[in-house]
Amino acid sequence: MKTHRSSQTAENIALLRAIESTRPAGDRICFDPWARHFLSEALATIVDSPVLRAQLMATWEVFTPGVCGAVLMRSDFIDRCLQAAIEAGIEQLVNLGAGFDTRALRLKALGNLGRIFEIDHPATQSVKIDKLRRLSTGIPSHVTYIGIDFETEHLSEKLLKNGYTPKTRSFFIWEGVTYYIPAAAVEATLAFIVNQSAAGSGLVFDYFSPEVVNGTCRRTEAVRLKAGLKRFGESMERFRKGKGIMFGLVVCMAITIVGGSVIRPPVAGAKGPITLTLATENEFAGFDAIQVRGFAICDAIANHAIQERLFDADDNGNLVPVLGLSATASADQTVWTVKLRQGVFFHDKTPFNADAVVAHWQRLLDPANRFRGRSTFAPLLSVEKDDAYTVRFNLKHPWLPFPRVLTETRMLGTYIPSPTAVDAGTQLRAPVGTGPFMFKTWTAGDHFEVVRNPNYWGTIQGNLDTIVFKFVPDEQTRYASLKSGQMQMIWMDRGTIIRQADTDPSVRHYQCDGDGAEIFVLNTTRPPLDDKRVRQALAMAWNQTACVKMSYHDAIPEAVTPFGRAIDCGGAGYPVHNLEKARALIVQYG
């Protein structure tokens, strides 16, 4: 919706209700005598003229066949659902995206409710309140009007701040909204409804099929509808880029909330194939070691399901065979000979062998490819094939960490990809490995999905069949999706939410330290950072203890070495917070 004015669609819907209300009682679908008061003078003129009404309805039917009837039936359907909810004893009503809705004026039964909340974009709310002031009834005292931008603001904050009572039997109307807002906003709103209302609450909403939203439906009605919305500045076109969700207009659905929460699908002990949905913070960067420009923790989790390393490591640092069976060092520790597992195939049926391993490592070592992680194994000179299932890693000099490098989980280069996929240039977005799960699909901006590998060389414990990684950048939305049952697992590093999870018996919280600390790289070739005193002053001025406490609620440890707590470096001598010494150093520097 264009933010500088009220919704054109909201006014058109009111116009449609007003026109329908001029029909005889036995012929009309719904009746709204108040709708006309929310129209501009020009549109009110159309309502008053039988000729203009007929011409407009005929025009609408040409450009959006069937939509007018669907909108009117939607209004009647929601009225009936609301009436049933009132009779069932709801205590408060929330109208999400109310537009120029008039139920608070025309349904007398609503006067008996404790609270009514009407929510819409601030521009639309402003126009509506102005028009209400001009009515003889004035602004209804039992209605609270709340302005909100569903794309950027949180429903929970707005409602709770304005008197909404959680855990109360409530009824939510979500009419003509969901197909204009991103998927994350839809998920957050649904999660709020589930978690902040009592058993017996209800929700009525409407939606399109996904084909209409993403533009693949080529029926005349769908094409013309999208074109019409675009002319009004309320296009669904952006959802074709993967930022939307399938909810829309044509189908209405009513839901009763049971127990105030959605039960999560069982995992342990469940029978039949299981789908695990895991919410990540960001979309993945990709899975080609040369092309990728970042490799976050959640990227590593997804990659670990698809691709495999030569070795894993146990808690004592000993090598555990994966695609490699053994690693033996020469007497001078400059050559490591690795025996490979036989009978293994990549997901694309390419055989795993010495050729695949050598091709991968030599690709990383080739200076022309400019592998970003090359410095992490600088002593490695080359990788050569001895026989079909034996390779040699040649080092410049003895290098004690080498075996551990082969086990690294946070470096994409240690995982062996299919040479066929690499040669085809598809490994970045459609990774192929030898792992227990195979890549299925990657929908940009929405999710990444892997499925069980039926031909896996090893043993897959349990009956997990599919893993869906949902991209949910907003941490509050991510946590709400876990609480609502939409996600079975989430990645989280925000202290406030970690502490919430600690005290929530319905959530299992697993925590581990990452490898290393966040590091600020300074350019010491230019003033003032070329002076050691300035760098020391910066370190002493930095109050890490306060930052960890205030920003992370002590959910992460403090770090005094680049390795965090992963490696014991003894007395590192890292400067502690001391403003007086910091100021003195700056004075010395001048």
Residue 163: left (phi > 0), alpha (psi -120 to 50), or beta? left
Q: What is the pLDDT of residue 1?
A: 44
Beta strands at 170-174 and 92-96: parallel, antiparallel or unpaired: parallel
Structural domain boundaries in the chain = 73-256, 282-435, 532-589
C-alpha distance from residue 462 to each of 275, 277, 436, 439, 489 (Å): 12, 16, 12, 19, 17
Secondary structure class of 441 (helix, strand, coil):
strand
* CB atoms inside a 10 Å sphere around CB 265: 12
Instruction: Tell me the backbone φ, ψ of residue 143, rounded to 5 degrees.
Output: -115, 135
* CA dihedral for 269, 270, 271, 275, sign (positive or negative): negative
Q: What is the pLDDT of residue 4?
A: 42
User: Mean pLDDT in the chain?
Assistant: 83
Helices 220-231 and 50-63: crossing angle, nearest 10°?
120
- Residue 355 confidence (pLDDT) above 90: yes
- Residue 277 confidence (pLDDT) above 90: yes
Stretch 357-382: mean pLDDT, rounded? 93
CATH topology of domain 282-435: Dipeptide-binding Protein; domain 1 (3.90.76)
Q: Is 130 exposed, middle or buried (0-12, 13-18, 19+ CB in 10 A)?
A: exposed
Q: Does 371 or 559 have the greater pLDDT score? A: 371
Q: What is the pLDDT of residue 447?
A: 95
| Closest residue by Cα to residue 485 from 195, 51, 102 | 195
324 pairs with which residues across the strands? 340
Q: Which amino acid, one-letter code, is at 226?
A: K
- Residue 386 confidence (pLDDT) above 70: yes
Q: What is the pLDDT of residue 218?
A: 61
Q: What is the pLDDT of residue 238?
A: 37
Q: What is the pLDDT of residue 331?
A: 96
Per residue in 398-457, pLDDT tens?
Answer: 999 899 889 988 889 999 999 999 999 999 999 999 999 999 999 999 999 999 999 999
Secondary structure class of 211 (helix, strand, coil):
helix
- Residue 555 confidence (pLDDT) above 90: no
Cβ pair 312, 327 in contact under 8 A: no
Q: How far apart are CA 103 and CA 125, in angstroms?
A: 15
Q: What is the pLDDT of residue 7?
A: 64
Per-residue three-class SS string for 223-263: HHHHHHHHHCCCCCHHHHHCCCCCCCCCEEEEEECCCCCCC
Beta strands at 437-443 and 202-207: parallel, antiparallel or unpaired: unpaired
Block residue for tokens 């999560």: 264
C-alpha distance from residue 509 to each of 5, 491, 500, 530 (Å): 45, 10, 10, 44
115 pairs with which residues across the strands? 92
| Closest residue by Cα to residue 235 from 429, 9, 79 | 9
- Residue 243 confidence (pLDDT) above 50: no
Indicate the pLDDT class of residue 344, thresholds 50, 70 and 90.
Answer: very high
- Residue 483 confidence (pLDDT) above 70: yes
Residues in Cβ contact with 219 at an 8 Å cutoff, skipping those fewer than 6 apart: none
Q: Is 300 exposed, middle or buried (0-12, 13-18, 19+ CB in 10 A)?
A: middle
Instruction: Tell me the backbone φ, ψ of residue 437, rounded to 5 degrees.
Output: -125, 150
| Closest residue by Cα to residue 21 from 12, 31, 29, 11 | 31
Q: What is the pLDDT of residue 545?
A: 87
Sheet holding 437-443, edge to edge: 437-443, 447-452, 464-471, 274-280, 489-490
Q: What is the pLDDT of residue 358?
A: 98
Q: What is the pLDDT of residue 210?
A: 63
Q: Which amino acid, one-letter code, is at 198?
A: A
Stretch 84-97: mean pLDDT, rounded? 89
Stretch 164-185: mean pLDDT, rounded? 82
Per-residue three-class SS string for 332-351: CCCEEEEEECCCCECCCCCE
Per-residue DSSP letters for 411-427? Answer: -GGGEE--HHHHHHT-T
Name the percent of the chain in helix, strand, coil, to the closest 5.
35, 15, 45
Stretch 105-124: mean pLDDT, rounded? 88
Instruction: Tell me the backbone φ, ψ of residue 444, rounded to 5 degrees.
Output: -55, 130
Per-residue three-class SS string for 3-56: CCCCCHHHHHHHHHHHHHCCCCCCCCCCCCCCHHHHCCHHHHHHHHCHHHHHHH
| Closest residue by Cα to residue 484 from 259, 269, 202 | 259
Per residue in 492-513, pLDDT tens?
Answer: 887 788 888 888 877 887 777 6
Stretch 177-199: mean pLDDT, rounded? 78
CATH of 73-256, one of 3.40.47.10, 3.40.50.150, 3.40.50.300, 3.30.750.24: 3.40.50.150
122 preceded by a cis bond (ω within 30 of 0)? no
Secondary structure class of 144 (helix, strand, coil):
strand
Q: Does 364 or 210 have the greater pLDDT score? A: 364
- Residue 237 confidence (pLDDT) above 50: no
Pair of tokens at residue 340? 């490979």
Stretch 49-73: mean pLDDT, rounded? 82
* CB atoms inside a 10 Å sphere around CB 586: 17
Q: Does 127 or 513 have the greater pLDDT score? A: 127
Q: How far apart are CA 202 and CA 197, in angstroms?
A: 9
DSSP secondary structure letter of residue 315:
T
- Residue 241 confidence (pLDDT) above 90: no
Indicate the pLDDT class of residue 257, thresholds 50, 70 and 90.
Answer: very low
Q: What is the pLDDT of residue 521?
A: 79
Block residue for tokens 């799960």: 437
Secondary structure class of 76 (helix, strand, coil):
helix
Q: What is the pLDDT of residue 180?
A: 73
Q: What is the pLDDT of residue 246?
A: 27
- Residue 53 confidence (pLDDT) above 70: yes
Pair of tokens at residue 62? 């040409």
* CA dihedral for 248, 254, 260, 262, sign (positive or negative): negative
Indicate the pLDDT class of residue 262, thresholds 50, 70 and 90.
Answer: very low
